[in-house]
Amino acid sequence: MIAVFAPGQGAQSPGMLAPWLELPGVPEQVAELSEAAGLDLLRLGTTATAEEIKDTAVTQPLIVALGVIVAERLGLESDAERVVAGHSVGELTAAAVSGALTGAEAVGLAARRGSEMAAACALTPTGMSALLGGDPDEVAAGIEAAGLVPANRNGAGQIVAAGALDKLAQLAAAPPAGARVRPLAVAGAFHTHYMAPAETALAEFAATLRIADPRPILLSNADGAAVVTGAELIARLVRQVTLPVRWDLCLRTCRDLGVGAAIELAPAGTLTGIAKRELTGVELLAIKSPDDLDRARQLIENHGQYAQGEHVPDFRIVVTPAKGVFTRADGLDEGRDVARGATLGTIATNREQHEILAPQAGVLTEWLRASGDIVPAGLPVARIHSGADL
């Protein structure tokens, strides 16, 4: 099986559209996507400066547009037998690759997402810093203890903290054991509660879209689970702007599914670099120019089909409904069968207690948190496997 990854904000570079304009049909497609975005993507992708395309309102539709263009050159929209995942705004590219949105709809949604997130960033001075190294759970706990949010858990020893600038400075002065802190040049604290105004505005815009069910296996940043319906996908895309990105769980699902090769759509490099350390033994290709298309097509031909009669396992990650203290259900050990709607545990807050329910029947394959852990809302706590082979 092959995976297709779509990069997120930060992957952009000046002139990144230029080499693709030499391919037949691309100039016309850029014009169409520019209309959908309400931006001159041709100029932004060829002659604009690095500073100009760093603007969140510009970066997001520009990255999605290039991903859509490259995916169409590979014919990805016609084949459902693959895994597709995008990092942050890359999930909109992935939605287009999956057939859930058209390319123009994905770029239009990215433009609205970028502009609303830029507006939310302007309300409060916030930022993000990458923490490299250290024990992942200890680093995440240290980030939370500092009053910040582990907004991206990318795998390969990289977690991104987000929140108020003064708290980021304090974290840099006293980082968790074994971790070094690198401030990121971003407009604000993406994937945190600071983006709530953007989520509200995006929900209104998303309600106007007609979204189809994704055809390939489309993994969600929220928990690494496969998204089955268009309704679930659009709801997740809206919530994504305030929820942490769990790219580590997307990669874990790729391992569980037996992915043998992965292609990163342009502007590529970041996700392939992470995958080199997280998906050992998997053949990887970062598409950086049209010269990489032939090799990408060969990888798709070699890895893009399921074996005859092969069952694709269905994994779901159970996440917390609120911030509080997590407690596992008594006697529920790994390997036990659970029914849909069964109580897996609870989250206790200062005022109330929330039940955590199994979203589907299956086998509890792994606990991801221990009883007594203080967890934020949206944190994965358990993994359920429900497949025809069980």
Q: Token pair for residue 257?
A: 């599914």
Say if residues 247 and 10 touch (Cβ distance below 8 Å): no
Question: In the chain, which ranges are continuous DSSP H helix?
Answer: 26-37, 41-44, 50-53, 56-74, 90-97, 103-121, 136-145, 165-173, 196-206, 230-239, 247-256, 270-278, 293-303
pLDDT in tens, 339-351: 989 999 999 988 8
118/321: higher pLDDT: 118
Rounded Cα distance, 252 and 169, in Å: 32
Beta-carbon contacts of residue 66 (< 8 Å; ≥ 6 apart): 16, 17, 20, 45, 265, 266, 267
Output the pLDDT for position 314. 62
Comparing 58-72, 104-118, 253-267, the range with the smallest average pLDDT is 253-267
Output the pLDDT for position 77. 57
Which position among 34, 87, 88, 220 bears the catalytic label?
88
CA 359 vs CA 119, 120, 341, 342, 364: distances in Å = 35, 32, 6, 8, 12
Question: Annotated catalytic, 88?
Answer: yes
Ordered domains of the chain (ranges, CATH): 2-121+193-303 (3.40.366.10), 126-183 (3.30.70.250), 315-385 (2.40.50.100)
pLDDT exceeds 90 at position 37: yes
pLDDT in tens, 178-218: 999 999 988 899 999 999 999 999 999 999 998 999 987 89
208/265: higher pLDDT: 265
Which amino acid belongs to residue 148?
A: L
Q: Considering the chain, what is the average pLDDT of its residues? A: 90
pLDDT in tens, 297-309: 999 888 865 443 4
Cα angle 9, 13, 16 (rounded to 5 degrees) comes to 110
pLDDT exceeds 60 at position 277: yes
Average pLDDT over residues 216-240: 90
Rounded Cα distance, 149 and 189, in Å: 9
Burial classification of residue 332, based on how many CB atoms lie within 10 Å of its CB (0-12 exposed, 13-18 middle, 19 or more buried): middle
Question: Annotated catalytic, 311?
Answer: no
Q: Facing residues of 316 across strands?
A: 384
Nearest Cα to Cα of residue 83 among 238, 276, 251: 251
Which position among 191, 220, 303, 386 bears the catalytic label?
191
